[in-house]
Structure 1
Amino acid sequence: MANVTAAMVKELREKTAAGMMDCKNALNETGGDIEAAVDWLRKKGLAKAAKKAGRTAAEGLVALSAEGQKGVAVEVNSETDFVARNPEFQEMASAIAGVALGVGDDVATIEAAAYPGGGTVAEKIQATIATIGENMTLRRAALQAVSNGVVGSYVHGQVAPGLGKIAVLVALESEGKAEPLLALGKQIAMHVAATNPQGLDAASIDPAIVARERDVLAAKAREGGKPENVVEKIVESGVKTFYKEATLLEQVFVMDPDGKKTVAQAVKAAEAEVGAPIKVTGFVRLALGEGVEKDETDFAAEVAAAAGQG
């Protein structure tokens, strides 16, 4: 039997909102595997939701730079939020996004590129580390571009123009008018910031994720005593619901005042104003610290250890 710790139970509760004992039992049943325990709880109908997003613990900023048919977002990390509020750090993050707009979203290429004012981006980061006295990294970058149309953008939690906690880019292919296209792109970008879709449409979702969803739905139906012919129908219905919740184009558009249109329907409706067909070809969403965990510090234990009691 796995050594199930309180921290593991806490993490599973945060992911599923299930009860403490249910979480402990799930971890015991799955040998301490968190993701397998999530599925175990879902199959038993004990998990309210399987939260996919990683815990966001890293500090710093996401910076966005968009111009016409191209846009890029970068994540620049620091050790503390205090440094993220430093004007020098903010200026650097913004400048790095501007560099990335010209050279693309490969981190190594960005770091090797010329930084405005002299040297390379990597050298500027090292110089800023020396000046401020805190470690910093260019963690990742993502780009969207179209041959005809616009790239809409939005920054959530903005602390300065183009700098914040979440950056979103949405690519719209169209030969229509740029101004209403940009307005639509920003609205869809705001939607993406709020809903964090897993993909653009059903075809863009990882088949392994869909297979896992099918397995959970089938196991849960069988657990409820449903016959196999009914299980199959429940699974198909559940997968359709999953796509509506997980894919951008099938989600209900949060900007629709009536709360009825999907994103795809809102895009279609906008074609009259734009004066041409519109196709959403892609999107990116960078959330600060996504997928990175920072070690949690037990301050009381640190004090006790320093006093020779730990």
Structure 2
Amino acid sequence: MEIKASDVKALREKTGCGLMDCKKALTDANGDMAEAARILKESGLAAMEKRSERASTEGRIFTRTVGNKIVMIELTCETDFVAKNPDFIAVGEKLLDVTFEKNLTSVTEDHKVLIQDLLIKIRENIIVKNVYVFEIPAGAAAATYVHGDFKTAACVIVKGADSDIVKQFAYDCCLHLAAFTPEYITKADVPETYVNEQREIFKAQMDNNPAMAAKPDNVKNAILDGKIKKMLAECCFVDQMFVKDDKVTVAAKLAQVSKEAGAELSFATTKVIVLGK
């Protein structure tokens, strides 16, 4: 039977699929628009399975704060071009909608269903990689930040007061996390195995340096301890020099803001997300 160009156009507008795919689906469905849409969806879902192993290292991080809840979602794809696609961005916003509406706390079928039409239309491996939900306690200040490329985001919640000065500090901490992406928050968070591993690396470097190897053991041990201390300061958030004042650490800045706010402040949440990691 003859397939009208107007029907092909209408099916394309409805499904977002290519013109040739729409024409073939209409032909296979004998011109039945609903059946053709079903055929396109089934073939698209089948193609999704084949694409599921392809790397999806591009994408965006979406964030939203509603009431006392913050939601951050990683939506990945294969190319930066798709990450900038308005349909991709719209789906990211819908993922936030359903997370709030259904009080979801992790990736669920509700999220996966929302990306199916996009998968069929765009034909890239698109994944709802992570969903993060943070509750803001009463009397706490919260802030979020998403970098301009939408691939790095941070959330900080500071307990103790919710004044403007504390909110600004929380936001500045978000900037710090996004800029330096520390592996750990405090020294207590660093696994002992990691510290021991770094100690062995530093020790081997010293042993391979003739001038260093000739030093007395007590001197070498002091140098080794100093290297470990410096390493911990570099990889732990609270021990890093604050992004807005490189003369004080984050911990020292927290103490300073506590005095200014007239309250004992502490970090309730410090989260940095780098897309795909």
Superposition TM-score, scaled by structure 1 size: 0.64
**One-letter amino acid of the structure 2 residue matched with residue 121 of structure 1:** H
CA distance change for structure 1 residues 61 and 289 in 2, over 3 Å: closer, same or farther?
A: same
Q: CA deviation at 1:57?
A: 7.4
Aligned AA for 1:97?
Answer: L
1:66 CA drift (Å): 2.6
Question: Considering only CA atoms, is the larger Rg found in Structure 1 or Structure 2?
Answer: 2
Query: Does the 8 Å contact 1:172/1:279 carry over to 2?
Result: yes
Going from structure 1 to structure 2, the CA distance change for 1:288 and 1:179 (only over 3 Å counts) comes to: same
Q: How does 1:185-264 map to 2 (within 5 A)?
A: 185-224=170-209, 225=213, 226-256=215-245, 259-264=246-251
Paired with 2:178 and 2:70, the residues of 1 have a C-alpha distance of 16
Q: Structure 1 pair 89/177, CA: closer, same or farther in 2 (3 Å)?
A: same
**Cα pair 1:177 1:274 within 8 Å, conserved:** no
* Superposition deviation, residue 87 in structure 1: 1.2
Q: Secondary structure at the match of 1:103?
A: coil
**2:103 equivalent in structure 1:** 103
Q: Which amino acid aligns with 2:132?
A: A
Amino acid at match of 1:137: I
Q: Which residue does the alignment assign to 2:253? A: 266
- CA distance in 1 between partners of 2:237 and 2:207 (Å): 30
- CA gap 1:221/1:91 in 2 versus in 1, 3 angstroms: same
Q: Which residue in the other structure is 2:75 paired with?
A: 76
TM-score, structure 2 length as denominator? 0.71
Measured after TM superposition, the shift of residue 157 of structure 1 is 1.5
Is structure 2 residue 81 aligned with structure 1 residue 91? no
CA shift for structure 1 position 100: 3.6
**1:259-294 C-alpha deviation (Å, 9 max, x unpaired):** 20111111111124433111013311111233xxxx
Find 1:152's aligned residue among 143, 146, 149: 143
Over the matched positions of the two proteins, sequence identity in percent amounts to 26
SS at match of 2:248: coil
In structure 2, which of residues 154, 157, 162 is the aligned counterpart of residue 171 of structure 1?
157
Higher mean displacement: 262-271 or 216-225: 216-225
Following the alignment from structure 1 to structure 2, what is the Cα–Cα distance between the partners of residues 134 and 57? 8
- The SS at the match of 2:247 is coil
Change (3 A) 1:141 1:227: farther
Distance 2:271 2:164 in 1: 21
SS at match of 1:82: helix
| Residues 268, 167 of structure 1: alpha-carbon distance in 2 compared, 3 angstrom cutoff | same
Corresponding residue pairs, total: 217
Query: Which amino acid in 1 is paired with 2:122?
Result: I
Structure 1 contact 58–288 (Cα < 8 Å) conserved: yes
Q: Which letter maps to 1:264?
A: A
Residue 305 of structure 1 corresponds to which residue in structure 2? none
Q: Supply the RMSD in Å over aligned alpha carbons.
A: 2.2
Could you say what secondary structure the match of 2:241 adopts?
A: coil
CA–CA separation in structure 1 for the residues paired with 2:56 and 2:123: 20
**2:270 match:** 283
AA partner of residue 253 (structure 1)? F
TM-aligned CA deviation for residue 75 of structure 1:
0.9
How far the C-alpha of 1:73 sits from its partner, in A, is: 1.7
Aligned partners of 1:144 and 1:283 also within 8 Å: no
C-alpha separation between the residues in 2 aligned to 1:98 and 1:266? 36
Structure 2: distance between partners of 1:208 and 1:57: 31
Take 1:89 and 1:199, find their aligned partners in 2: how far apart are those partners?
A: 32
